[in-house]
Amino acid sequence: MLEWLEKQKGKVEQTTYIGYEQVIKGRLYKYFKAKKIKLVDLKPKHIQDFFDLLFSEGLSGNTIKHYRANISKALKGAVITEIIDSNPATKLEPIKVKEYTADYYTQDELLNLMEIIKTTPIELPVVIAGVYGLRREEVIGIKWNAIDFKAKTLTIRHTVGRGKIDGITQFIFKDRAKSDSGYRTLPLFDFIADLLNSYKDKYEEYKKFYGNTYCNDYKNYMCLMENGELMKPGLH
């Protein structure tokens, strides 16, 4: 699995690789290393026992599907390269997944939330996310050049996430959204434009206050902390 993971570098997107690495270098590697099962001796039962353990630890079916997908892809590669004759993962029954039911804020709840977060460090990203229904990676990824104050538009074309690469947590920058439908231009409402302009003024004040300790690396981004650092998705 580690050998297969190493070969994925450069073949898949960075965010995809991070997902692979989290699955393989976490529970999967530790479990099978302790079992000391040779690849040629690997049976469907060995894999199923691992899945049963994950279920017993409280992992969801959707999460366990990621483990199965990685195992199956790696073993498929082993079959293609004739290391093994067949893929034992394909003989297992499908993993049952609970249907996801989304929950939503009511209008009153959303208005109450926006009132509560006024003047807090997360005001801007929460308001933008709440008004436009954006993912947090999309909100943090908005740059000032994505905002056209004259045409009154806001364009989503860049995302910023966080993930571990080789054990180091870092920002993941992408110059496109999660899918083609992720590219979209939204109307810039007047109250959003006013809020953005007020934050432009705030950032200038923060910059003066922090002086040479202010971080200018992310000045092109809209959602910053007081010291100029880029906000981290999931930090607050």
The pLDDT confidence band at residue 226, using thresholds 50, 70 and 90, is very high
The residue assigned the tokens 């049976």 is 43
Residue 56: which pLDDT band, with cuts at 50, 70 and 90?
very high
Q: What is the pLDDT of residues 4-13, one digit of tens each?
A: 999 998 888 8
Q: Which whole number is the average pLDDT over 94-118?
A: 87
What does the pLDDT look like over 194-215, one tens digit per residue?
999 999 999 999 999 999 999 9
| Architecture category of domain 2-91 in CATH | Orthogonal Bundle (1.10)
- pLDDT, tens digit, for every residue of 115-126? 999 989 899 999
pLDDT at site 162: 86
Task: Classify domain 107-213 at the CATH superfamily level.
Answer: Intergrase catalytic core (1.10.443.10)
Order of all β-strands in the sheet with 184-187: 147-148, 153-156, 184-187
Residue 64 in tokens: 């366990």
Helix axes 107-116, 123-132, angle to 10 degrees: 160
What is the H or E stretch that residue 133 is in?
A: none
Instruction: Please report, for residues 21, 27, 79, 180, 203, the alpha-carbon distance to residue 1 in angstroms, rounded to integers and kept in the order given.
Output: 10, 12, 13, 31, 47
Cα–Cα distance for residue pair 219/207, rounded to 1 Å: 10
Q: Which amino acid is at 53?
A: L
Q: Taking the model in full, what pTM does it have?
A: 0.71
Do the beta carbons of residue 203 and residue 226 sit within 8 Å? no
How far apart are the C-alpha atoms of 126 and 224, rounded to whole Å?
13
Domain boundaries, the chain: 2-91, 107-213
pLDDT digits (tens, 9 = 90+) for 143-169: 999 999 999 999 999 999 888 777 788
Give CA–CA dist 204/211, Å, rounded: 11
